[in-house]
Amino acid sequence: MKLYVIVPLCALITFTQQAPSRDKCVCEFTNSERPFPHDKLSAAEDNASRCNTNITPQKTLELESLLLGLERRLPRLQEDVSILEREDDGELYGVISLQVIENELLEIMQLMDKLNSTTLEHQHLTTNATKQLEDLKAEMDELETFDTMQVVKRQRENQLLKSNLTKCRDKRPTMQPSQPPYGNCPRGQFRNITGPWKFIEGEYPGSHKYGAWGRDPKPEAGKESWHWLVMLTSGNKYSNYVRLYSSLSALIVGQSTPGNVEISPSNPTDNTIQGPNVVMYRGALYYNCYNQDEVCRFNLTSKTVTNIKLPKGTRYNSKGNFCHLEKCYPFTDLDLATDESGIWVIYTTNQDFGNLVLSKLEDDEQFRLGQTWHTSVNKQGVTNTFMVCGVLYATRFIDKETEEIFYSFDTTTGVERLNLGIFIKKMYPNILSLNYSPVDQMLHAYCDSYMVSYKVLFS
Ligand SMILES: *[C@@H]1O[C@H](CO)[C@@H](O)[C@H](O)[C@H]1NC(C)=O
Ligand SMILES: *[C@@H]1O[C@H](CO)[C@@H](O)[C@H](O)[C@H]1NC(C)=O
Ligand SMILES: *[C@@H]1O[C@H](CO)[C@@H](O)[C@H](O)[C@H]1NC(C)=O
Ligand SMILES: *[C@@H]1O[C@H](CO)[C@@H](O)[C@H](O)[C@H]1NC(C)=O
Ligand SMILES: *[C@@H]1O[C@H](CO)[C@@H](O)[C@H](O)[C@H]1NC(C)=O
Ligand SMILES: *[C@@H]1O[C@H](CO)[C@@H](O)[C@H](O)[C@H]1NC(C)=O
């Protein structure tokens, strides 16, 4: 209504200006509308955003992780108790088992305590949030009465109509375009990811910004549920040990058994870990070794290190890092990766002008460099890489909340794809390592000292 009045008025003004005349034309404009209370709207907006910051996905994940921990712990306790009952005749065994059970009980009690405090906190949050939301709703209802031109109402109707239309379209049978097979996957093609599924603070929440964690895809017998963690303890650059956990719940509650496995007593020195992008495979840790253009393999059983020199011209010592516009992640020259087919190293060389180069690592009889592929994507705009089913994927930084899996390179066909458009919802701004676990089809990320995982979806 206002608009109708304003347009002819403007026309009138320009007209009268162009043709100066002694007679003045005066229009009276009376506004029968109530003024819109902008201050109230912005207060409501503030309250809503405050409400949003109080309730984060991290809070629910915390609870999920704890519950998962309990879920894993309880059957084990039950099993151990029944073993104890069976062993009742021999006193020695009884005493040892009793100790094991006492330890397990202690861990469970700690989990329960943590769960209790988390639950209480959530109850308070929920009560607060419900109240706040009710207030906000009332406020918005009141504000809507100012909407005399019914803009909001019409918008809402349009939205409903739109969603009805989309639903209608989705119901129509669509022909899937036939695509050439991509990668070499028994499960189908990598399509998307969901999550974060797990969010683990670990033993040192907030400290050791750089690191990596995960599960060995080919573990030794009896170590199937073990998890490993490497934190760069010296200047975010180096580390000299791997920390082991007997299960996921042990990692969640931060109880490391059997503890640290040391590569060397000092740090950094020959053969210690340089950079965060390390992986564990068949009971050995693979990483960029200190001050070398080499991949080191540290056998956790024999405690020996074997190394492979990468091609001449390979960039190392923080010369070929993962980067985004705001920063580069130091000492990320070499990225180790695992997938269904084994173990890989992703790096850059001078002769490839800093484009990603990918090599298979063969560790069957002797540890050696296998086939090599050259890509056309430059590492300067890449924040991490990982392998799934023989396909290399690269990520880039979008903003603090989002990372995009944007690029892929199929080693079976040599086909490259850009603009994949698969988005990773981040809990912290920087992903310092990212690796795929073929055992459970999860992506494990180490983000600013926190451990996060995502589920990979195949089609
Ligand atoms: C915003 O929250 C404050 C305190 O929680 C409350 O006093 C105020 O009425 C709220 N304002 C609106 C517009 O909801
Ligand atoms: C949970 O914590 C509250 C307060 O801290 C305490 O009163 C209650 O006994 C605890 N419950 C359990 C099951 O530990
Ligand atoms: C709930 O609100 C009260 C008062 O507004 C505040 O003191 C308390 O810290 C809030 N609790 C949580 C868990 O946010
Ligand atoms: C959308 O569809 C629902 C039923 O599926 C119907 O009740 C509703 O009126 C439709 N909305 C519009 C705006 O057409
Ligand atoms: C991936 O999943 C998210 C929700 O988890 C969805 O919003 C998005 O559209 C999906 N992307 C693709 C490429 O299918
Ligand atoms: C590690 O060392 C053990 C004992 O020497 C050996 O049996 C095993 O094959 C080695 N693992 C690898 C991956 O080389």
Inside any domain, residue 390: yes
Q: In CATH, what number is assigned to the domain containing residue 213?
A: 2.115.10
Inside any domain, residue 77: no
C-beta separation of 84 from 98 below 8 A: yes
Q: pTM of the full predicted structure?
A: 0.60
Number of domains in the chain: 1
d(CA 115, CA 107): 12
d(CA 29, CA 35): 15
Inside any domain, residue 175: no
Predicted local distance difference test score (pLDDT) of residue 186: 75
Q: What is the pLDDT of residues 342-396, one digit of tens each?
A: 999 999 999 999 999 999 999 877 899 999 999 999 999 999 999 999 999 999 9
Token pair listed for 289 = 């070794």
Predicted local distance difference test score (pLDDT) of residue 281: 96
Inside any domain, residue 94: no
d(CA 395, CA 406): 6
- Give the DSSP H/E element, type plus range, for residue 335: strand 335-339
Predicted local distance difference test score (pLDDT) of residue 44: 86
Inside any domain, residue 422: yes
Pocket of ligand 5 (CB under 6 A): 192, 194, 421-422
Pocket of ligand 4 (CB under 6 A): 157, 160-161, 164
d(CA 132, CA 450): 30
Predicted local distance difference test score (pLDDT) of residue 97: 67
Token pair listed for 208 = 């050791």
The residue nearest atom 1 of ligand 4, judged by CA position, is 164
Inside any domain, residue 262: yes
Predicted local distance difference test score (pLDDT) of residue 214: 96
Predicted local distance difference test score (pLDDT) of residue 5: 40
Inside any domain, residue 111: no
Predicted local distance difference test score (pLDDT) of residue 91: 58
Inside any domain, residue 359: yes
Predicted local distance difference test score (pLDDT) of residue 179: 45
Q: Which residues of the chain have pLDDT under 70?
A: 1-22, 32-33, 57, 84, 87-97, 149, 170-184
By most ligand atoms within 8 Å of CB, the mutation choice from 160, 161, 166, 169 for ligand 4 is 160
Atom of ligand 3 nearest to the CA of 125: 13
C-beta separation of 59 from 200 below 8 A: no
CB atoms within 10 A of CB 367: 17
Predicted local distance difference test score (pLDDT) of residue 27: 73
Give the domain extent around 306. Answer: 193-458
Residue 422 CA to ligand 5 center (angstroms) comes to 7
